[in-house]
Amino acid sequence: MAETHGAETHGSDVKFPDPVELSRAMARIAEHSQHLVSEFLARQVHDGNHAPSTDPLNIGHAFIEMTTRMMADPVKLMQAQMSLWQDYMTLWQRTTQRFLGQEADPVILPAKDDRRFKDSAWDENTLFDFIKQSYLLTARFMQSSVRGVDGLDDKTAMKVDFYTRQFVDAMAPSNFVMTNPEVLRATMESGGENLVKGLEHLLDDLERGKGQLSIRMTDYDAFQVGRNIASTPGKVVYQNDLMQLIQYSPTTEQVLRRPLLIVPPWINKYYILDLRAKNSFIKWAVDQGITVFMISWVNPDEELAAKSFEDYMVEGPLAALDQIKLATGEAEVNAIGYCLGGTLLASTLAYMAAKGDERITSATFFTTMTDFSESGELSVFIDEEQLQMLEEKMNEKGYLDGSTMATSFNMLRANDLIWSFVVNNYLLGKDPFPFDLLYWNSDSTRMPARMHSFYLRNMYQKNLLIQPGGISLKGEPIDLRKIKTPVFMLSTREDHIAPWKSTYAGTQTFSGPIKFVLSASGHIAGVVNPPAAEKYCYWTNAKLPKAPDDWLATAKQNPGSWWPEWQRWLSKHGGGKVAARIPGAGGLPVIEDAPGSYVAVRIT
């Protein structure tokens, strides 16, 4: 009887746990758990004055309304149940055929991109194939039933559909030990060590989240901002309460005369555009001979609670324009706005148009919404009840905690960003893989209370930005229709945050020349797609019909990255070539090396 890694092995495959090591592990877990429970109870006593809402997301009312309307048409519900029963009967028959050694086609298959059932046992083992198909049939029945209810308003229907999917995803057999063949195999082979290790991971995540589950998505020790991520050379040449301005060091002898200002979202940190050298949009742009300036937003605390959306405009892009002139002597710039940064850029352009300010010569928008009438699944988190709850929560601290926003975004892709890690970390007991994108995704930021309330209410809830004069900034009613600046709009076909058909509305709003480009993939991968990767594709069309589907129907599909397409467009607005500019050599002294201190503030 041999001993392997502290456990007894009987046979070649099954490993029985060493009772001494197991008892030590469980004692360690028990001690860890007791500490966490004590801390959690202490926090509950401390926060006892704040009674939690029984339904903070206002889900109950939506499902009551859905159920009422569903029961009003019992025939339709009965037909759906009969169809499900027939599918079950067919599955039983075909499973029986397989048990008898016969071939049988599946009744239902998972989607091609569904990685929950990638283990071969889900197909090869008859029992697990039955479990898989039973789940898929039930999931399809539940989702089609709630989607088929007549008479619900669009927001209620979307909320019911969204939370039904959350329930369906949570109940997948892949999320449970006894119905996941990969987990069962790992449990038998390791003698249960995977589950002990997984429990330790779970407790560590609870401790890091101070009682809330903060799932570790990557190896946080594998990356360091400024060392192997966000490492493109440059200098911080200006800073104020809300941002640091980074000027990147040139890699070419000559550069375009007009510098490029990038306005990233402040919901996340800027370095999504500067992950590593091989996928850094910033490094690539510098290598194309562009003087790049980047706004690095502060990670705000309670002292910045009163900062408004207007303040972000004044202390962000408007302040940057002044400083870029001091640094380079150049008054005219090209600008990029990404997501919320693009919404701010559009608002700033409308304000500048009202003031006769033409310093921004061209504007590029990455996955940017200006018309929020069709804002996608994020709208399920934005109704009056939830906004009031959110505002109460923000007013207590002066900001919205970054984890709240991160949870909302992760729920949009729960199988990829929640349940896959539950299986990997807790059931298989594995350490998460080092991944730069997930490190960035976990590096969340806070939102100042006043700014965030204004943004959610005036844009997402009331959709005032698209209305002429609907929003005023610095006392000036703004109108997006007055923007005559040449525009390059980049949207992504599978975007779940800024749906491309919603972003396309900007083509019908701005008054200047517009080039609309649609990239394959989603909100991040469709943007961060370097040419060297030779991945995905993008669509172009010289015409801009009113309906986005009409645009796509006649668009040309192009292979690879859209970056060179953008670079060719930008060069027309570059203003010729000048000698490369060295950060600190102009009118702005160097404050510190890039990426600066603001981006280094972590809240996880």
End-to-end CA distance of the chain: 46
How buried is 433 (Cβ within 10 angstroms: 0-12 exposed, 13-18 middle, 19+ buried)? exposed
Can you tell me which residue has the tokens 């997501």?
339
d(CA 210, CA 218): 19
Coil, strand, or helix at residue 309? helix
Examine the residue annotation and report whether 339 is marked as an active-site residue of this protein.
yes
Question: What is the DSSP pairing of strand 514-519 with strand 487-492?
Answer: parallel
Q: In this structure, are residues 588 and 323 in contact, taking their beta carbons and an 8 Å threshold?
A: yes
| Cβ atoms of residues 498 and 371 within 8 Å | no
User: Measured in whole angstroms, how far is the alpha carbon of residue 381 from the centre of its chain?
Assistant: 15
Do the bridges between strand 472-473 and strand 447-448 make them parallel or antiparallel, or are there none, so unpaired? unpaired
Tokens of 68: 């009422």
Catalytic pick from 146, 256, 285, 339?
339
Distance CA 270, CA 246 (A): 11
- The Cα–Cα gap between 513 and 534 comes to 29
Integer Cα distance of 565 and 488 in angstroms: 10
- HSE-up (13 A, CA, CB side) for residue 330: 25
CA nearest 302: which of 406, 404, 448, 443? Answer: 448
Amino acid present at 61: H
Where does 413-458 have alpha helices with state H?
414, 420-421, 436-442, 449-455
Contacts of 337 (CB under 8 A, 6+ apart): 262, 263, 343, 344, 345, 346, 363, 364, 365, 366, 368
- Pairing status of strand 292-297 against strand 260-263: parallel
- Integer Cα distance of 217 and 151 in angstroms: 40
Tokens of 119: 């283990």
> What one-character-per-residue DSSP string does 561-586 give?
-SHHHHHHHHHTTS-SEEEPPPTTSS
Distance CA 229, CA 276 (A): 5
Active site residues: 339
